[in-house]
Structure 1
């Protein structure tokens, strides 16, 4: 489930170099990131529901092997177009692994124990953005962006071995759903019509839109506006991710007592307040506001996601437990589809100032906060809600 950060954050600081090497535009360079995210969305949409019919383990092994093969293709890509296509397929199999991972947790745990498990997994997943840029920095100091994909090839091979040796089948045949497109459509329709499930997914998508605007734009914006070197940007990005990892560890420790709903509210509020300060910083300009101010605000945005992501995941999976793979596909697929749509925003509207990224982030998180307030006023009593 933590493959995403390693497949994106290890080379995100090299996007400008990738653009120069392949003689392409900043938008195409960002599309290599967007394609991976789109692929992750599509992979979750397809492979998650398939696992409800065919089980989890074989699909996990296949996704890991194909990830390694496609990493080789990415590293050998001669043009931006080929790299975008390869990243799309690489994201597809990576997304399948993510959806399957959530389904395995849902098969194994229930209620608060499931929420705590998602918190533990999130802490490991969020640690990826801390480690991945540092690893990427070391690789880029001695190689190029192509060398990063060589390292991802090794990661894919290691995942295949780990899944083969360490994960048993968690969905026995008697508990599986009928196969076929019609049965899949029935399960999808059942969950999408269920507001007790979709309310968590919708809120998660809005928060993800704000978060991935930062992911997709920060490398260009911060390096352009504040003239950061790749190493300096890596430090900023990794420290923000460390805040998210620490918050997810705190989530695991508190969720049994406080409940996922309350902790999600805290996370969304922290992220919204952080994002709300960015337009003022953009208006003042880098000459008046030192890097420490937007850095602190972005850290608050990212740290808040350490509460809201595992909470929303646990709440959505609990609400969709009757078809865990399909529920995982919908919540993960819709979230990553949203992320794919917003990631290129700063490339389209400009990365020479902080303004486009600041406006987009503050707008998305304000919408998430507003929806959360509506849900808080209309939801059932806390005692009737699973996992908090």
Structure 2
């Protein structure tokens, strides 16, 4: 694949060197376009040595080749890493005052921006408006990490690690569709934990891997993704807004709130169905039997289904060990869902595994079935069904 790696002038430019090596080692042809400010942080010699191509930042380099048109037209992916507040502003306003911004105007392939800047700059109304504009036009602007910034500062605005960005960009290069561009989607993942005392809890075996794969696939297909994650045993995908929760009550509150305004909600989390009526604030000692009184937790799927807006697509999961199809169909109707994903968890084999076996149902019956498929393949099958249910974006 032909990749254009744009680099703007921030201290995080050094991470783009690692990303460039990862892309090259995976067999991609990468052309680097640094801005003049980026070259203050990492010089031409480094980019040329790592990419194997000459580097230019201005439109007057090799004019006969008309690089600003040729590079944009010939790219399978354009990624700007890091994308500073200045670069985002210039891209949002259609500026073409250097080779990188000119290339962005001629690119017809997927375009990904990975912002990196101080928290105040990221949260400024001007930057948020520029990000919204770029997303509305179909560009994918990843969410920055929260952590150590330049100097002693910490907060949102940190560039995700190169390995995480590499995994994200691979999804853009392999995704079968870009049918979620401009869509806002909500995904939940992982298992909740209901405290018995400060040490013990009621939970389940969910690893969150399927939900994470669903979120990553949505991002690769162009969606603006919000992931609500309970307990998970897998790395979180880069560039996706993540909210962490612990209990089913916390998951309920976060999900019901986040579902408002989402085009689609895929509730792949595994909430505990019961919680202790009272939790001890001290560790319980072993002194014979303990009577543990339980009460039901709030029904998240039903709450989202009741509040579902016209045109919104709701996907729920049914983890079953027997009588799966009957339970799945009943759950779809009871929760007001458009699609239900029947997950065969007999023997617990799917928990934490790389493969899954699912059947997807809509109101007419079975839509798709996958047996021992990768969780990434399952994620794409789910989004295929969601995309079909959503229909063309301009028809809503």
TM-score with structure 1 setting the length: 0.26
| Higher fraction of helix | 1
Q: Which protein is bigger by CA-based radius of gyration?
A: 2
TM-score normalised over the length of structure 2: 0.25
- Decide which structure has greater strand share: 2
